[in-house]
């Protein structure tokens, strides 16, 4: 199998990781209006159990 000619630089690795972080953060970009924690859009907040200004589930 073909092997890479050079070791990947720290900068290249950092670039790839930065892009990966950006990509994974996009779907959960919605913030809870109750507690300000990031949550999935159109889902009950897992931190405070609120959805649309009402508490729908109890969080311990
Ligand atoms: Zn919340």
pLDDT in tens, 9-39: 999 988 887 776 566 555 556 788 888 888 8
pLDDT of 56 reads: 72
pLDDT of 9 reads: 94
Residue pair 59/46 in contact (Cβ under 8 Å)? The answer is yes
Is the dihedral angle over the CA atoms 7, 11, 17, 23 positive or is it negative? negative
pLDDT of 38 reads: 82
> In this predicted model, which residue has the larger pLDDT, 5 or 57?
5
pLDDT of 6 reads: 93
Ligand 1 centroid to residue 25 C-alpha, Å: 17
Place of tokens 């589930």: 57
Q: Is the pLDDT of residue 7 over 70?
A: yes
Q: Is 55 helix (H, G, I), strand (E, B) or coil?
A: strand
Ligand 1 centroid to residue 22 C-alpha, Å: 22
Ligand 1 centroid to residue 13 C-alpha, Å: 34
Closest CA to 56 of 44, 39, 47: 44
Ligand 1 centroid to residue 12 C-alpha, Å: 37
Q: Where are the domains of the chain?
A: 29-60
State the Cα–Cα distance between residues 23 and 13, nearest whole angstrom: 16
């Amino acid at each position: 199998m073909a092997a890479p000619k050079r070791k990947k630089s720290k900068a290249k690795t950092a670039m790839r990781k930065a892009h990966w972080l950006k990509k994974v953060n996009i779907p959960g970009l919605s913030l809870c209006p109750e507690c300000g924690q990031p949550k999935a859009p159109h889902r009950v907040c897992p931190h405070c159990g609120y959805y649309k200004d009402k508490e729908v589930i109890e969080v311990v």
